[in-house]
Structure 1
Amino acid sequence: MAVGDFMVLITEVILYEIVNGYFPFSIFNHTPFCRWNLVVHFISIDCSVWLTVAFTFDRFTAICHQSLRTKYCTEKTAAVVIMVMCSLSVLQNAPFYFIYEPREIIDNIQWSCYVKSTFYTLSIWVVFLWMETVLTTIFPFVLILLLNSLTIRHIIVANRVRSGLRANKQAEKHTDAEMENRRKSIILLLAISGSFILLWMVIFIYYIHVQFTDTQFLEASYNDPFTIMEQTGYMLRCLSCCTNTIIYAVSQKKFREEVKNIVKAPFILITNAIK
């Protein structure tokens, strides 16, 4: 998930926004490169979204279905899920390469990208846009809300039962580590669901708006209110990728340990080489 979020930041913030804003006539702004960058960008977004859904389902299975936990919550299953979701993301977003045309041509060189007008009129592209809207925003919203709601409900019910049992044993004055872990789980799930939905809401509304109006993506006029809305949605979507990584890093002890190992690895190699 961290890699998927990081790829979104590289492709959108660095290779698209910064390049367009500060290096408009660099090689990175040629139309062929721009097309490939946008395709990789949309693939990264899908991976980020659906790996968040997979993480939510993994937590749901681990907490609510103990009988499936040992079979599903394994490294092998995680590897298969990651591979399948990334492969499907590539297939789903490959058509994006064909929807762009050069924004301008200078000395027979194609510069930047602009969505073709036929993208909004041809039936096949209209269906594709609806499919993209449903699979990238609506469906993940519903799944994350549903799974986290069921998980939180299960934790609350289990806490009530545990509190009753501890009260019968007159041990309520002692700290309950299990109850504390469950409380942290609820906070984590609410943080993931809340940040994901809030930060994706603007771009979700804009996608729906494009479906029913003559508004187009990537308009050049930044005085247009819907262009401002679109760019704000992209900014918040990038922020969502940042907050996801922060949430995982802060809350997951094993994640923090792996990051520390990555940072220490070069120094360990150097030290071993010197010895």
Structure 2
Amino acid sequence: MHGPANGPFYAIYYPMLAAIGVPANLVAIIILSRGRCGLSQCITYYPVAIAVTDFLVMVTAVILNRIGGIYFRYSVLSTTPGCAVSTVLVYATRDGSVWLTVAFTLDRYVAICCQRLKARYCTEKTALLVIGLVCTLSYVKNIPFYFTYQPLYILDGVPWFCDIMSSYYSLPTWQAYDWLDHILTPFLPFLLILILNALTVKHILVASRARRRLRSAENHGDAEMANRKRSIVLLFTISLSFLLLWVTYVGHFLYVRITGEAYFTGLDFNDPHFMLQETTNMLQLLSSCNNTFIYAVSQTKFRNELKKVLLFPFSIFTSCFKLHGIV
């Protein structure tokens, strides 16, 4: 997120994204927290944590950073300190969401493919520990970004907007940090999710062949197998969505590195370089908005709970009318 977007398209896109993403993530948090979606408590912790970080991404990246930059251009968030703090929060919540997806993928890999380790690793205590560690490290890792910005200009003694310092592209220390940042998000998560999903699919295929050979096993559709199937579908849909929506971000980083161009921080919003950069941001932010819809499509019990939540206000009105003898 290297500068506030402008123009009619961005002015419409980001408010719509916030209008959908904020309530969608809140609904996901409410439904998943109730534990009525047929998933074990250990599995449930990860989607809940992902939904919370996605909600924070909507608040920090979409509402404060993008919408604030469009509609409240000269607010306190547009000053250089405000902009720098906002950027750190954006990157921290983004990294938290990404690495929680990795953590969820690893948890399901262990549960499905590593039966000896499953009893020790796939527990509620481990899930909470991993989630806390991921969130803490996400914020610590991004604090240095605060010191990479300088004012775009100074007006009446007030520094406005964030411009990346030229030393960020020349000093070896900052170059190493930039590479580390992009390796940790999203290159390493990409690699880990691809490898873990490939190993999980391989294990499932081998196990399925073994079950076909044992015809008696086909008639034992126990609750554990049903729970595993739901978690596998959830895992693969979330992972695939992540990979598709982040691939342009990876491509843009490689483009910047190969061509030697800097990230766009100016105010020419018709510049093709800016349009490419902003497209990667738009798709990246969209990835923090769509998990609720993934749950609704892939999880029958989640759909049923979603219907209850959506119909709840109407149920209250109906009950009130009946109480007063109107209906």
TM above 0.5: yes
Distance 1:132 1:35 in 2: 16
Specify the code of the residue in structure 1 equivalent to 2:120: K
Name the counterpart of 2:288. 241
- 120-129 or 101-110: bigger deviation: 101-110
* CA-CA distance at 1:17 after TM superposition: 0.8
Distance 2:255 2:169 in 1: 12
Report if aligned partners of 1:215, 1:226 keep a CA contact under 8 Å in 2.
Answer: no
Structure-2 change in CA distance of 1:99 and 1:124 (3 Å):
same
* CA-CA distance at 1:242 after TM superposition: 1.2
Specify the code of the residue in structure 1 equivalent to 2:271: D
Specify the code of the residue in structure 1 equivalent to 2:293: I
1:215 aligns to 2:215 (yes or no):
no
Distance 1:59 1:249 in 2: 20
Aligned length: 261
1:62 aligns to 2:108 (yes or no):
no
* CA-CA distance at 1:64 after TM superposition: 1.2
Distance 1:207 1:48 in 2: 19
Distance 1:111 1:103 in 2: 6
Structure-2 change in CA distance of 1:255 and 1:111 (3 Å):
farther
Specify the code of the residue in structure 2 equivalent to 1:211: R
SS across alignment from 1:103: strand
Q: Which runs of 5+ in 1 are unaligned?
A: 265-275
4+ runs of 1 displaced by more than 6 Å?
Answer: 177-180, 254-258
- Report which structure shows greater RCO (CA 8 Å, sep ≥6): 2
Name the counterpart of 1:269. none
User: In the alignment, which of 29, 43, 48 is matched to residue 92 of structure 2?
Assistant: 43
* CA-CA distance at 1:215 after TM superposition: 2.7
Report if aligned partners of 2:238, 2:294 keep a CA contact under 8 Å in 1.
Answer: yes
Matches within 5 A, 1:89-168: 89-166=138-215
Name the counterpart of 1:88. 137
Return the TM-score normalized by structure 1: 0.84
Specify the code of the residue in structure 2 equivalent to 1:219: G
User: In the alignment, which of 185, 202, 207 is matched to residue 248 of structure 2?
Assistant: 202
Matches within 5 A, 1:227-238: 227-238=274-285
Distance 1:177 1:79 in 2: 27
Distance 1:202 1:196 in 2: 11
* CA-CA distance at 1:114 after TM superposition: 1.7
Name the counterpart of 1:224. 271
Return the TM-score normalized by structure 2: 0.71
SS across alignment from 2:214: helix
Q: Which runs of 5+ in 2 are unaligned?
A: 1-49, 313-327
- 154-163 or 240-249: bigger deviation: 240-249
Structure-2 change in CA distance of 1:83 and 1:63 (3 Å):
same
Structure-2 change in CA distance of 1:250 and 1:68 (3 Å):
farther
1:209-259 CA-partner distances (Å, limit 9, x unpaired): 22231232433222222211110000000111112343346556589869x
